[in-house]
Structure 1
Amino acid sequence: MDKKINGGKNMHFYITGDTHGNFNRIEEFCSENDTTKEDVMIILGDAGINYWLDNTDRQLKNDLSSLDITLFCIHGNHEARPWEAGDYEEVMWNDGLVYMEEAYPNILFAKDGEIYNFHGKKVMAIGGAYSVDKYYRISHKMPWFDTEQPDDRIMNYVEQQLEKEGWSIDIILSHTVPIEAEPTWAFIPGLNQRTVDKSTEKWLQEIYDNLEISEWYAGHYHVDSEENGIRIMFEDYDEICEKLN
C-alpha cells in the first residue's frame, strides 16, 4: 500500500443510515445541499453496493460515481467485505486506511478499527452485525455473507487500536450497537431473540463500558432514535465534525 488520497480542508462530513442499494434520497440530499465530491456522506452500514457480486453492483457503482459527494461506508451485515467483492486496494484517507477501487474513487469503505481524522476529531469505524434473516436468505438462495460479523482478527485489531489511544475516541461509527442500547421496541414482532447471535453487540458493550467517548452513531435497525447516548440513524441526516473557523 503506497497510495494516499487526501480529504479537502473544506469538506463537510454528513451521516445517515442504511441505504440497501437505493441512493435516490442521497442524490436528493446532494442536490438540496449543493455538495461536491470534496464532501463526505457516511453510510452506517448496509450501503448495498457490494451485494449481488455481479454486474448489478458494477452498474450501481457506475451510477454512484456521478454523485456530487464521496461515500464513506461502514460495513453492514447485508453486504460483502470489499476484499470479497472486487478489485479493491487499501489507501490512506484522512489518516486511516480505506478500501477503494481505482475506477470509483468517490466510493470508499472503512476498515474496521482504523482511526480517521475528521477536522481534528478521532473517528473509529466498527462494522458488522448478525443477520436475523440469515436462514431465510440461505433457504431462498438470497445473498448472505459469512463474514458479516467481525471475526477475532478484526476484534483484536480494534482493541489494539483503542489501547494505543488510551481508550479515548471522539466518535464511533458502527453498524449495530452495544447490547444495552438495542432498540428492543423496534425488534421484528414474533422473532425469537434467543435465536439471534448477539456476540457483536455484547463485544461492543464491553468497548462502550471501557471507552471515553463523545459521540456514537449506528444504523442497522431502520429507526431514528437515541438510546443511552447512542444515536441510531436510518433516513435522517446530520453533520458531524464541523470545521471550526
Structure 2
Amino acid sequence: MEQVQNIVYLTGDTHGRFDRVIGFFVSKAVTTENTFIILGDAGLNYFGDGRDTLNKQVLFELSITFFCIHGNHEMRPGPELGYELRRYHGGQVWAQPEFPNIMFAVDGEVFDFCGHACLVIGGAYSVDKYYRLARGWHWWADEQPSPEIKAKVERVLSKRGWQVDIVLSHTCPLRYEPVEAFLPMVDQSTVDKSTEQWLDEIERHLHYERWYCGHYHIEKEIDKLRFLFNDYALLPHTLSVTEADARASR
C-alpha cells in the first residue's frame, strides 16, 4: 500500500507531557505522516537541563517531525541553547543537531504546509508570572513578541498583500479571548494584553481562511478561529481546512 505523505496534524499545549500525543499516533496510525504542530508551550525548553533533554529524546524516537510554535512557558530557542537555523517547508526554524526532527518556528515566517501558506506568530503574556517569580520558578522577559518581531510580521504581511491561508499562533486576537477560560484567581486588570491587542489589528486587516491557537487550555471554535488543547486538527492536500478539522476530531 502506498504511504500517505505530507499530512500535517496540529494540537494545543503539551507542557512536556506527551502521553496523549503518543497515544494519538498509535490510534491514528500516523507514523508515516511527516509533521505534527504544537501551538506553543511544548515543554521542551523549560528547565534548561537534563529534563528537557529527556523529553526531546522521547520525541526524537518517534518517526515524525515536531514543529513547535513559541509559547510563554518556555525559553526562546537560539544558539545559546544549541539551536541552529534551518529551512523547513519554505521558512526558517530552529533545530538542535542531536534532535533534528524537533523544530521551533521563527516568528513571522510563512511556511508551506500541504499547499497552505501558514504564518507563525508565537508568544503570549503569562498570567501566572508573579506566582512563578514568587516561588523561584522560571519566567522569561521575552515571552511576548518584541517590537522587532511585530515589525517583521507586518512587513511580511504587507509584502503578501495582507493575505495568508492559515495563522498559527500561541495566543489569540483580543476580540476572541475566551473569557470563560479565564482563571478566577487572576485579576484581569493586571494582565498585559498588548499581544492580543496587536493580534486584533492583524486579524482585522488580514485575509485568511483559518486561524489556530493554543494557550487558553480550551477547545473551542468561533468564526474562522479554533482553539486547540487536547484535541487535534488536520491539514491535508485535498480537503478544505474546515473538512479536515472535522475528520481529525473523529
TM-score normalized by structure 2?
Answer: 0.91
- CA apart distance, 1:35: 2.2
| RMSD, aligned CA | 1.6
> 1:243 is matched with which residue?
237
Alignment of 1:9-48 (within 5 A): 10-36=5-31, 38-48=33-43
The answer to whether the 8 A contact 1:100-1:108 is kept is yes
Amino acid at match of 1:243: H
1:150 equivalent among 142, 145, 148 = 145
The answer to whether the 8 A contact 2:145-2:195 is kept is yes
Any stretches of 5+ residues in structure 1 without a counterpart? 1-7
Amino acid at match of 2:66: L
Worse-superposed segment, 23-32 or 196-205: 23-32
Percent of aligned pairs with the same residue?
47
2:134 equivalent among 131, 135, 139 = 139
The 3-state SS of whatever aligns with 2:209 is: strand
> 2:189 is matched with which residue?
194
- CA apart distance, 1:56: 1.0
Change (3 A) 1:80 1:37: farther
> 1:122 is matched with which residue?
117
The 3-state SS of whatever aligns with 1:213 is: coil
The answer to whether the 8 A contact 2:5-2:32 is kept is no
Any stretches of 5+ residues in structure 2 without a counterpart? 240-250
Cα separation, 2, equivalents of 1:85 and 1:128: 19
Matched, 1:65 2:60: yes
The answer to whether the 8 A contact 1:46-1:78 is kept is yes
Amino acid at match of 2:238: L
> 1:83 is matched with which residue?
78
The 3-state SS of whatever aligns with 1:130 is: coil
> 1:3 is matched with which residue?
none
The answer to whether the 8 A contact 1:183-1:227 is kept is no
Matched, 1:163 2:155: no
Change (3 A) 1:86 1:205: same
Matched, 1:230 2:225: yes
2:209 equivalent among 211, 214, 221 = 214
Change (3 A) 1:37 1:55: farther
> 2:170 is matched with which residue?
175
- CA apart distance, 1:38: 4.7
- CA apart distance, 1:114: 0.3
TM-score normalized by structure 1?
Answer: 0.93
> 1:5 is matched with which residue?
none
Change (3 A) 1:97 1:16: same
The answer to whether the 8 A contact 2:7-2:114 is kept is no
- CA apart distance, 1:9: 8.6
Amino acid at match of 2:196: E
> 2:248 is matched with which residue?
none
